[in-house]
Amino acid sequence: MSRFLVRRILLAVLSLFAVSVFSFLMFFTLPTDPVTAMCPKNCNAERLERVRTDLGLNKPKVEQYTDYMKGIFVGRDLGSAQGGHCPAPCLGYSFTRSERVTDTMARVIPVTLSIVVPAAILWFGLGLGLGMLSAVRRGTVFDRAAIGFALTGASLQIYFVGGLLLSLFVYNLKWLPSPHYVSLFDDPWQWFQAMVLPWIALAFLFCAIYARLTRAQMLETLSEDYIRTARAKGLANRTVHRKHALRATITPLITIFGLDVGAALGGTFITETTFGLNGLGRTTVQAVRDGDLPTVMATVLISATFIIVANIVVDLVYAVIDPRVRLT
């Protein structure tokens, strides 16, 4: 198990290194001058040169990359105009926002985490349960209703579902306040009230998809020979479904779940825009529009980290569910 974990971590480190190299080359070795894109429109030639000097963009590309990675692990000096020394993890300075990128990320990442993590628990739990019940009760009214729910959820978009939820629970019934971010540690109840609608909207879409996938996988598993053998031994249906069928059904779903959670943590732009929340997704899109390269670079690295960490967690869960994975 330890060797399996070490291999996965080493592969993750290499993947992050490759992402950092390619993203740096993409953003900071463009034919156009990156300083012109990062500095506001009112920058004159003197200020452009100062920005280039403060950020070290007049150095060789290899040295620029080394300084950038050094800043992530031990910090770096950004110049007096950018607050001087930037402690680790230093992701650069945004002239568009006039603040360190680390400060921006510290403000927007908790918003995205507050949306995605509870929503992921909802969509996986409800999707798995609904899909299993639909498969076990195949051909019944419940099964047909579950299929209809899955088709409806997969067809609708978050901005449509979110608009309906806002219109019903916020503007008409006035049961909930308008979605806004409140820290879980400051006021848990207000955090719940402010974030419950984004959870429902995001979970509704994914829950429908996971219900369909679970149903199809469960039906396939129930037709396997070892399931027939378990039933022939006189095991109760509940034992067969929970102990044998569920374990085989959940394995491929975990892979999809890890990728979906990692991608969602990398930025839920539509959900954040629909509910007026300023998370990582909206920040990334705005940084692209403004040519804010340090912020874009940081969001790429953070999104890649989320996806890679999610895959490591999936591999560990695999190793627990299926011991054969530990030998690969």
Q: What is the pLDDT of residues 73-106, one digit of tens each?
A: 888 887 666 667 788 888 888 877 878 888 999 9
Query: Given this model, what pLDDT does residue 111 score?
Result: 93
The neighbouring-strand residues paired with 99 are: 94
Read off φ and ψ for residue 85, nearest 5 degrees: -70, 135
The mean-pLDDT minimum among 5-9, 20-24, 129-133 falls in 5-9
Query: Given this model, what pLDDT does residue 39 score?
Result: 63
Read off φ and ψ for residue 188, nearest 5 degrees: -60, -40
Confidence of residue 310 (pLDDT cuts 50, 70, 90): confident
Share of the chain above pLDDT 90, in %: 15
Residue 192: CB atoms within 10 A of its CB come to 15
Query: Given this model, what pLDDT does residue 275 score?
Result: 92
Q: Which residue would you say has higher pLDDT here, 262 or 267?
A: 262
Q: Are 71 and 86 in contact (CB under 8 A)?
A: yes
Dist. CA 140–CA 187, nearest whole Å? 44
Radius of gyration from C-alpha coordinates of the chain: 24
Dist. CA 294–CA 85, nearest whole Å? 16
Dist. CA 97–CA 126, nearest whole Å? 40
Full 3-state SS string of the chain: CHHHHHHHHHHHHHHHHHHHHHHHHHHHCCCCCHHHHHCCCCCCHHHHHHHHHHCCCCCCHHHHHHHHHHHHHHCEECCHHHCCEECCCCCCEECCCCEEHHHHHHHHHHHHHHHHHHHHHHHHHHHHHHHHHHHHCCCCHHHHHHHHHHHHHHHCCHHHHHHHHHHHHHHHCCCCCCCCCCCCCCCHHHHHHHHHHHHHHHHHHHHHHHHHHHHHHHHHHHCCHHHHHHHHCCCCHHHHHHHHHHHHHHHHHHHHHHHHHHHHHCCCHHHHHHCCCCCHHHHHHHHHHHCCHHHHHHHHHHHHHHHHHHHHHHHHHHHHHCHHHHHC
Query: Given this model, what pLDDT does residue 95 score?
Result: 75
Residues 20-50 pLDDT 10s: 888 888 777 665 666 666 665 666 677 677 7
Confidence of residue 188 (pLDDT cuts 50, 70, 90): very high
Identity at 98, one-letter amino acid code: S
Burial 215-242 (b: 16+ CB within 10 A, else e): bebbbebbeeeebeebeeeeeeeeebbe
Cis peptide before 60 (omega within 30 of 0): no
Q: How far is CA 124 from CA 121, 243, 272, 303, in A?
A: 5, 19, 20, 21
Q: Which residue would you say has higher pLDDT here, 47 or 325?
A: 47
Share of the chain above pLDDT 70, in %: 89
